[in-house]
Structure 1
Amino acid sequence: MRSFSPIVMDDLLPPPLLLEILNRLRDSADVARCRVASTTFNALAPEIRSVDLRCSYLRYAKSRCPLTTSSITPFKAVFTKLISELRIVERISIGVEKPMRLVAYDDLEDEDDDLFLSDVNFVKEWLPRVYGSLRSVSISDFWVQSCWRRSDVLSLISSYCLNLLELEIKNAWLSVDGLTSMPKLTTLTLEFIRLDDENLSKLNECFPWLQVLNLIGVGGLKEPRLHLMHLKTCHWTLSNAPISISIIAPSLSKLTLTCVKPNFLLIETPLLSYLKLSMENAGNFGVKEFSHLRKLTLESTSLRNLLITFPFGATVKNLTVYSTRWEVPAGVSKSILELLLSTFANVSSLTLTSGAWSEFESYSALVGLESRVEMNGLKKITAYLTVNDSEVTLSTIFSLLDNCSNLSDMAMFVHRDVVSNVTSSIISKCMAHCGRVRWKWGMWKEGTKDAWISDGI
């Protein structure tokens, strides 16, 4: 295939299309290369409306090495010059590359501030000249430099950017002093943040029209309470502190919540249709029945304890279960499958990851399915198998088929470490045992993407 250099493209493409190409380049370093290679690109560059600049670990290392430090332009200076050349700026994304997040504070003494990007004095250099057209701002600090410096950047941004729609800040210590309302902001992401707002009262007050909220690893919370009337999607990951958590969001439809053992969990979200919940259990649930909840994912190291206290489930149709500890407690009268189907009586599609399936296999091998529950509504099962004993695995699959009369689809993922002849034997015996089921077979392994082996009929 013939390749075209930017100089050849100068003659082939009209300027509006070339500008569109530049605007689609997410990395400002790539834009700079195009400007060097093409006079037309260079002339059009001031019309670009976004800046996306990342500091690599190699650049950072060179800036600290005595042999190369004098040849490295400070990162903040590069960004300031870049943004000063643009006429209108609608989107800004500035930060460090992901590998630099792995640099530990204890491994490095760094009192520099060139990558302290939420520094108010730095932001004041560029924000006043671009704020009027800004729609999206993303700042990803270098934690080694930012963790011990409290920033008032939220207050600064809220005072200038009245038209801002999206805001993302990562790896910083943020104050909410002076924070004012941002009525147009619809998307907020705070990731690996120390936040001086222990109950999230300022967040609720100053971001009233949020529709998308991501709080990932936000520390400093005591009794966090979300009360947002227009929120539709929320991803919230908390630490293991034993705190009370409240979510009051009448418009929320999708919630991903990760916690451990909160003293109290209140969820008032009547329109919720998708919930992914990762926790052990809660000291107390304050949950009203979800009349719209259809898809649920549960992840727990104490799945049985969680299910015993689970306050809802009648409307769930699609259920996925992760169990990271799968021993069968003494005196248990129901298998994990029976417990699930009694809690979620109307589920039609069930996914059991390896821990939950292994627990079910262990129970089935000991006592079988003696405590019958209604399983007629279950139509599809997806299971992740480790196959410690192929006969036990087959017996468990056959018992499912015998007790779930309306099962029509079985998707079985066998661990990649299982020898191929064992896998082939399981596949052939299952397909021969039950012809009414449409079989699908695949392979899985931790940290890799699932792969289909074949579809059966």
Structure 2
Amino acid sequence: MDDLPPMLILEILSRLSDSADLARCRVVSKALNTVSAEVRSINLYCSFDRYTKSRSPETKSLVTPFKKIFVDLVSRSRLTESVSLGVEKPLRGLSYDDVEDESDDLHLTGVDFVGEWLPSVAGQMRSISISDFWIQSCWRRSKILSLISSCCHSLLELELKNAWLSVDGLIGMPMLTSLTLEYIRLDDEDLNKVNDCFPSLQVLNLIGVGGLMEPKIHLLQLRTCHWMVSNAPLSLTILAPNLIKLKLECWKPKSLVIDAPLLFEFQLSLEKASNLEVKEFRDLKTLQLESRYLFSLLGSFPSSKTVKNLTIDSSKWTESAKVAKFNLATLFDAFPNAKSLAVGPGAWLEAETCFHAGDSEVNIEITAHLFVKEITAHLFVKDIEISVSFIFFVLEKCTNLTDMSLLIHREVESSIASNLMSRCIARCARVRWRWGFWKEGMKDAWVSDGI
């Protein structure tokens, strides 16, 4: 190993996904120890096995403290630009019912710990990712944001997970372009300060950030945003004039305001919104909607003639025909120029049920739809005759349809699935058919690429 060129050794060490291996390499040879100081990224995660051994009386004395390993790695690396630190997934799922733990050996967003290693590498730091141990961090409010903002003036990306954060002392970070806060406890005032202190954000991910009642995102440079709201706030507001991609998941806010005129791709999942205010999206091309009350959502969503790729679904799978309201007429009225349509199992079942009930709006008002070229549908097939009749109705109304993809629930008997397939193929030879199966929690499985 000592005979290898230093640049080759550095390339090998830089490709190690676990920096624990980097620590081991340092004791193997003098060459490895010397070159390892040039590695620019440190990635270290505490495994469930390490955690268990550190708690066992038989093995506790044999386990090097996790924080010590990390601090040693940073102190020996002169050019560290990226840090990824945390606990592995099995540890994130532990709760107080599983373990009683008041120690802080894995409290990774603690200012005392971060203050040991961050100042020495802050000048060249470009990316920081810390995934804390929730059992130890949820009741300890951390001022790590203040520490990072005071010394990491060139930081571009910041990711913090599973912690209770304070914005006390937070100062502006005009260089930061990407921020991810996942399962973080904040208050409305804290989010307002995030808006003020990170004016150059282009990517923002707020995943399960709790404690917010009337949160507002107001970022002029924002381009991509994923916001998953963990509680039921009174209102949600997004003001982002340059936003082009938005994924929003929320329960049922009393008010939802979205002002993002350049939005190109939008995923919206919500229970219902009493007051939905969505300004016109003049560039929206791809839209995904999911709601338990899909019919009412479409009614309040502004008609969008720019949408070409449309995905819809309803989480209301088991409702009776008496309450089913969603139908294709409403859909095509709202999005008249959609070329590609994907319909989830809940939405297809509701539209099928509405059609079978003889809804006059479905059978009379809908005219031939000339723009849809491709349809993908997830089917339950509760009654094959109803399913077949509805599919034939869709074929009749979508006169320019060229591709039809049908995914049948895996619990449907194979003879019924085969019967449905053969009848559809015989009915419409002009369409290229694709077949497959689906089931909750599983990836769709295709068995035919086209007939």
* Range class of TM-score, shorter chain: over 0.9
CA contact (8 A) 2:321 2:354 kept: no
Q: CA deviation at 1:286?
A: 2.4
Q: CA deviation at 1:165?
A: 0.3
CA contact (8 A) 1:290 1:312 kept: no
CA contact (8 A) 2:205 2:227 kept: yes
1:163 aligns with 2:157: no
1:66 aligns with 2:57: yes
2:404 aligned counterpart, secondary structure: strand
**Equivalent residue number for residue 434 of structure 1:** 428
Q: 1:380 aligns with which of 363, 374, 379?
A: 374
User: Which deviates further from its counterpart, 288-297 or 320-329?
Assistant: 320-329
User: Which deviates further from its counterpart, 185-194 or 239-248?
Assistant: 239-248
Aligned mates of 2:301, 2:450 — CA distance in 1 = 36
Aligned mates of 2:29, 2:442 — CA distance in 1 = 42
Aligned mates of 1:39, 1:413 — CA distance in 2 = 59
Aligned counterparts, 1:30-429, within 5 A:
30-36=21-27, 40-198=31-189, 200-326=191-317, 327=319, 330=322, 335-367=326-358, 369-374=362-367, 375-429=369-423
User: Which deviates further from its counterpart, 225-234 or 334-343?
Assistant: 334-343
Deviations 1:263-305 (A, max 9, x none): 2111110100111001122221222111001111111111122
Q: CA deviation at 1:445?
A: 1.7
Aligned mates of 2:236, 2:419 — CA distance in 1 = 49
Deviations 1:69-104 (A, max 9, x none): 122121111111111111110000110001111101
1:359 aligned counterpart, secondary structure: helix
Query: Identity percentage over the alignment?
Result: 57
The structure-2 alpha-carbon separation of the partners of 1:184 and 1:32, relative to structure 1 and needing over 3 Å to count, comes to: same
CA contact (8 A) 1:431 1:456 kept: no
User: Which deviates further from its counterpart, 21-30 or 401-410?
Assistant: 21-30
Q: CA deviation at 1:216?
A: 0.4
The structure-2 alpha-carbon separation of the partners of 1:331 and 1:221, relative to structure 1 and needing over 3 Å to count, comes to: closer
CA contact (8 A) 2:327 2:355 kept: no
Gaps of 5+ in 2: none
Letter in 1 for 2:138: C
Q: CA deviation at 1:330?
A: 3.4
TM-score by length of 1: 0.93
Q: CA deviation at 1:424?
A: 2.2
Q: CA RMSD in A?
A: 1.8
CA contact (8 A) 1:335 1:364 kept: no
TM-score by length of 2: 0.95
Q: 2:439 aligns with which of 436, 441, 445?
A: 445
Letter in 2 for 1:389: D
Deviations 1:109-143 (A, max 9, x none): 21110111111011111111000110000111100
The structure-2 alpha-carbon separation of the partners of 1:328 and 1:304, relative to structure 1 and needing over 3 Å to count, comes to: farther
CA contact (8 A) 1:186 1:212 kept: yes
Aligned mates of 2:334, 2:190 — CA distance in 1 = 33
**Equivalent residue number for residue 3 of structure 1:** none
**Equivalent residue number for residue 4 of structure 1:** none
Q: CA deviation at 1:363?
A: 2.0
CA contact (8 A) 1:444 1:450 kept: yes
Aligned mates of 1:120, 1:97 — CA distance in 2 = 21
Q: CA deviation at 1:34?
A: 4.1
Q: CA deviation at 1:162?
A: 0.5
Q: CA deviation at 1:308?
A: 2.0
1:275 aligned counterpart, secondary structure: strand
Letter in 1 for 2:427: H
User: Which deviates further from its counterpart, 219-228 or 361-370?
Assistant: 361-370
Aligned mates of 1:70, 1:138 — CA distance in 2 = 29
The structure-2 alpha-carbon separation of the partners of 1:419 and 1:32, relative to structure 1 and needing over 3 Å to count, comes to: farther
Number of residue equivalences = 447
The structure-2 alpha-carbon separation of the partners of 1:363 and 1:197, relative to structure 1 and needing over 3 Å to count, comes to: closer
Gaps of 5+ in 1: 1-6
User: Which deviates further from its counterpart, 225-234 or 66-75?
Assistant: 66-75
CA contact (8 A) 1:27 1:53 kept: yes
The structure-2 alpha-carbon separation of the partners of 1:32 and 1:142, relative to structure 1 and needing over 3 Å to count, comes to: same
CA contact (8 A) 2:435 2:448 kept: yes
CA contact (8 A) 1:174 1:196 kept: no
Letter in 1 for 2:401: L
1:19 aligns with 2:10: yes
Aligned mates of 1:328, 1:337 — CA distance in 2 = 18
CA contact (8 A) 1:176 1:197 kept: no
Q: CA deviation at 1:37?
A: 5.0
Aligned mates of 2:190, 2:149 — CA distance in 1 = 20
